Structure 1
Amino acid sequence: MTPFSLRIFVADGDPDGLRIVEKSNWIGKALVFPRALLPQVKARPELAQTGVYLLLGPRPDGEGEMLYVGEGDPILPRLQDHQSKKDFWTRAIGFTTATAGQLNKAHVQFLEARLIGLARAAKRMPLDNANQPAEPSLSEADRADMEVFLSHMLGVLPVLGVHAFEQAPAAPVSAAGGQSAASPALLYCTGKGVEATGYESTQGFVVRAGSQAVSAVTASFSQMLGAAELRADLLKNGVLVAEGAALRFTQDYVFSAPSTASDIVLGGCTNGRVQWKDAQGRTLKALQEAELG
């Protein structure tokens, strides 16, 4: 990864208000603002430009957030339309360029299609978009330029707290394969006839594809609303599929915490720092404490 710097300008002096984000060596910029400020923000020249935008807000059926990805030529009329027609969103992020005219309709349609595809593949946040739009026809040069623009956007979004487009980071190499000292330890969670493997990352705790989870959960698990809804989402999205007497992870999946991961694997309330262990049987808790000296 290449280090970079961000410049975040708090335009109205309120940290929760309008923020304008620019990244080193990038022609783009982002506007981040709560829905309540749209009447004031609509006069910003950036929203009169062509761009792509995200709407984020709480899910109507439970905990967590959902996402809508859109494009506008310009952005403002689309946001005004969503103000009256979409209830869920509480904040918006608009992406355009520092100098007007550097993005056209086909560019932002491409960015919209790529973002929706990435979000559907990652399956980390429910999408309000009903369909997967087709990518427009772009010249080879324009496509390359938009892939670079997209990579900058994907670098900015996690800093803004949006992880919907991130794939799980690369897995550590096993000890037999020459794991380096800097690699995270490969950990195991076993019990109730299932076994899962995973590891810590900067994004969260990753459970690896091929890991198992129980098919039957405890009675108390159903009372854990966040975990129960997450499990239902994983089943609905095909991240978890039935295989024999258990469930199987079809892809690497990033959980917010080790305990969330072990809750899903074992189907109950667990302490992930104790349930996840390395090949020598040392718990994640013990490994973390040893690292601290």
Structure 2
Amino acid sequence: MTANTQPFSLRIFVADGDPDGLRIVERFNASARAVVFPRALLPQVKARPELQQTGVYLLLGPRPDGEGELLYVGEGDPIRPRLESHYAQKDFWTRAIGFVAVGGLMNKAHVQFLEARLIALARAAKRVPLDNGNYPSEPSLSEADRSDMLVFLDHILGMLPVLGVHAFEQVAPRPVPPAEVPDAGREVIYEAGTLMTCSAKGVSAAGFESSQGFVVQKGSQAVQVVTPSFQTFPGSVRRRDELIANGVLVPDESCYRFAQDFAFTSPSAASDMVLGSVTNGRTVWKDSRGRTLKELQEAESKQG
């Protein structure tokens, strides 16, 4: 499941005048309300009426190795006691996001459903590791309640990327830009979505740029053996090991194969994983005419 792609508006209220402090975020014409704050402010914000309501929440903070974020998904009836418990017992998190319904219309089963769905989405996306020790199953809901919670979930998923959280995003389908249509009637040098390939060391991969990063397509290949230079970057080694452990990269005879579309933070991060070496993705990825990503982007920047 992915968030709705229809345009929408968010209202962000900076409650204490500090843009990095407490923020109340609402989606226009929707019931979802988010309470966003850094961990250090919990003693001051725990009296907020939103935290006295039943809701679902996220805790985010750096991973122990310092490479990327760690995520915890929880629910509370109400939220406040759960956050107070995590404040005392969980060290990793540095910020929290709580979601409640305007008017306080959610019950325990509702937020258990949301928690289970969010955990399942994060596990499927495999973008951020989870601190959760258990993976709960969805509770039974009436047909009407289930429908309402799916709409509420869709609103949450639409708000989270704006709040800097991408852990639940599934890779969007690749568009077919006019640049790939012969004789399209106009010269399009480059645009996001243009299919690029990376072929070397006996493997071949295909990918494209998107708003989520550089996406390597399902079925692409990656080398099995990495270079000594690659091993000098512990973060990259750990990332590769995670992709293998999570089933994003699966063994396929003499190489690895991508079992799903996967978004990397940059073209270089993508080609590093494909080739098992330190690369410049802007020169490694090429279009169907052999033009590098760097050449395409430089040519595009000169267009009027």
Q: TM-score range by the shorter chain?
A: over 0.9
CA distance in 2, matches of 1:25, 1:284: 41
Letter in 2 for 1:220: S
RMSD: 1.8
Could you tell me whether the CA contact under 8 Å between 1:11 and 1:20 is conserved in 2?
Answer: yes
For 1:236 and 1:62, the matched residues in 2 are separated by 19
Deviation (angstroms), 1:178 = 5.7
> TM-score, normalising length from structure 1?
0.96
Q: Deviations over 1:201-227 (max 9, x none)?
A: 011000001101111111111111222
Of 39, 42, 55, which aligns to 1:38? 42
| Structure 2 residue 135 is the aligned partner of structure 1 residue 126 | no
Using the alignment, how far apart are the partners of 1:38 and 1:119 within structure 2? 25
Are 2:298 and 1:289 equivalent residues in the alignment?
Answer: yes
Distance, in Å, in 1 between the alignment partners of 2:173 and 2:289 is: 22
Partner Cα separation in structure 2 for residue 223 and residue 21 of structure 1 = 42
Q: Which residue of 1 aligns with 2:270?
A: 261
1:20 and 2:29 equivalent? no
- What's the counterpart of residue 11 of structure 2? 7
For the residue of structure 2 that corresponds to 1:31, the secondary structure is strand
C-alpha deviation, 1:174, in angstroms: 8.8
- Distance, in Å, in 2 between the alignment partners of 1:121 and 1:50 is 26
Would the alpha carbon gap of residues 277 and 24 (structure 1) be closer, same or farther in structure 2, given more than 3 Å must change? same
Give the structure 2 partner of residue 167 of structure 1.
Answer: 170
1:77 to 68, 76, 81: 81
Extract unaligned runs of 5+ from structure 2: none
Contact 2:180 2:194 in 1 (8 A): no
* Alignment deviations for residues 16-67 of structure 1 (CA, whole Å, 9 cap, x no partner): 1111101111111001101110000111000000000000001113411010
| 1:97-126 deviations in Å (ceiling 9; x for gaps) | 2212x1110110000000000000000000
Aligned counterparts of 1:5 and 1:175: Cα–Cα separation in 2: 30
Instruction: Tell me the matched-pair count.
Output: 292
Match of 2:96 among 92, 97, 108: 92
Matched residue type, 2:48: R
Conserved? CA contact 1:172–1:199, under 8 Å: no
Give the 3 Å change call, closer, same or farther, for CA 172–2 of structure 1 in structure 2: closer
Q: CA deviation at 1:173?
A: 4.1
Residue 149 of structure 2 is matched in structure 1 by 146
Unpaired segments of 5 or more residues in structure 1?
none
1:53 maps to which of 57, 76, 95: 57
